[in-house]
Amino acid sequence: MGIGKSKIDSCPLSLSWGKSHSVDARQGHNESASKNSEDISLCDVAERGKTTEEPPGKQEGAERVAEMPEEDAEEEEVFLKFVILHAEDDTGEALRVQSLLQNDFGIKPGIIFAEMPCGRQHLQNLDDAVNGSAWTILLLTENFLRDTWCNFQFYTSLMNSVNRQHKYNSVIPMRPLNNPLPRERTPFALQTINALEEESRGFPTQVERIFQESVYKTQQTIWKETRNVVQRQFIA
């Protein structure tokens, strides 16, 4: 939750990298030089001739080297353990909970929704966040019900967990220490799910029981297989 324009425009985190344009820039320079061939010296012609006489294999090798940063960036994409959906005004609290889970319980990597890349549609970011992580944490605060986008997010997340077998029980409501949403005001659809209660003595036990490594590995495998299928279809 929390995707107001003020949060998205700040673009605090980018999960993807742009393509390198070094090859295009070099090609553009060669094309410009060829158009002005009448004004260049014989030495320039000789030097350019050496360049054009290079074996095709070397030229292709140079292009592959120029494209390496993009390939490395794609390999760095990871399947997250959790994403926290939150109200716009709860970004600070979401960051605190993120730090708590990662540093105190070793559940990482995780992300909050405000850190999703800017420049894309909200629905695309929501889909990437939910399907690119093993668990979806709904931060239940007093601000939760005031944000219409929050309501849409949690209904969408619940439907996703119902329609996809491997996502069953992946939606985790959580009442944080600060400004928690009272149980009696919690939407009925979420009352049927046991929520994480940070103020509860059993909170550490709840966290250990929910965030199991075996569940993460299973979802990660399915995620990788799905991405491979999509990539093959795109190439074809």
20-39 pLDDT, tens per residue?
333 343 444 444 444 444 44
pLDDT over threshold 60, residue 115: yes
Report pLDDT for 54: 47
Max mean pLDDT range (150-154, 211-215, 227-231) = 211-215
Report pLDDT for 76: 60
pLDDT tens column, 155-167? 888 888 888 888 8
Report pLDDT for 119: 64
Report pLDDT for 143: 93
The rounded mean pLDDT for the chain is 75
Report pLDDT for 189: 85
Higher-scoring residue by pLDDT: 106, 34 = 106
Higher-scoring residue by pLDDT: 236, 198 = 198
CA–CA distance, 91 with 97 (Å, rounded to integer): 10
Report pLDDT for 30: 45
Q: Do 116 and 13 form a contact (C-beta atoms < 8 A)? A: yes
DSSP per-residue codes, the chain: ----HHHHHH----S--PPP-HHHHHHHHHHHHHHTGGGS-HHHHHHHHHHHTS-HHHHHHHHHHHHHHHHHHHHT---EEEEEE--GGGHHHHHHHHHIIIIIS---SEEEGGGSPSSS-HHHHHHHHHHTEEEEEEE-BTTTTT-HHHHHHHHHHHHHHHHSGGGTT-EEEEE-SSSBPPGGGS-HHHHTSPPEETTSTTHHHHHHHHS-HHHHHHHHHHHHHHHHHHHHHHH-
Any idea what the Cα angle at residue 160 is, between residues 112 and 111, rounded to 5°? 10
Report pLDDT for 62: 45
CA–CA distance, 84 with 138 (Å, rounded to integer): 6
pLDDT tens column, 176-228? 999 999 999 998 888 888 899 999 999 999 999 999 999 999 999 999 998 88
pLDDT over threshold 50, residue 66: no
Mean pLDDT confidence for 89-117 = 94
**Pick from 53-62, 80-89, 194-203: least confident:** 53-62
